[in-house]
Amino acid sequence: MPFARKSRLSELIFQEVSNFVKKHNAPFLNGILTLYDIELSKDLKQATIFFSVLGESDDRDSAQAALEGARPAIRNYLKGRLRLRFIPRILFRYDSTSENASRIATLLNQIEKEKQ
């Protein structure tokens, strides 16, 4: 039963944070920001949200700064939207998995072309 609660809570927090980011899309974000996963700690006191940015490394840095700056506002938003005794601390982590996958695909395509 605790696993089901944690899973539901993770999904709910992720959905609400995504809604907040969509509503308050910062105009200074040049890249395309994607929130794609959440990890909730066992004690439910910390939520780590993973994001990626399609664009340059400067876009990634500005997105990280924007998300970090918005953490208090996001937490207040969650307080108003969720009926929880304790709102978890929100952390944002950049994940380069999509960039790595794209680079690997490019390398594989180059190898395939060289074979021909």
pLDDT tens digits along 43-94: 999 999 999 887 777 788 888 888 999 999 999 999 999 988 999 999 999 9
The residue that leads in pLDDT, 33 or 90, is 90
Residue-level length of the chain: 116
Q: Computed from CA positions of residues 5, 95, 110, 58, in that sequence, does the dihedral angle turn out positive or negative?
A: positive
Q: Within 10 A of 104 (CB to CB), how many other CB atoms are there? A: 10
Q: Which residues touch 98 (CB under 8 Å, ≥6 apart)? A: 52, 54
The predicted structure's pLDDT at residue 8: 92
115: confidence class by pLDDT, cuts 50, 70, 90: confident
The predicted structure's pLDDT at residue 95: 84
Question: Domain range holding 86?
Answer: 2-115
CATH of the domain at 69: 3.30.300.20
Total domains in the chain come to 1
> Considering the entire predicted model, what is its pTM?
0.78
Task: Say if residue 11's pLDDT is above 80.
Answer: yes
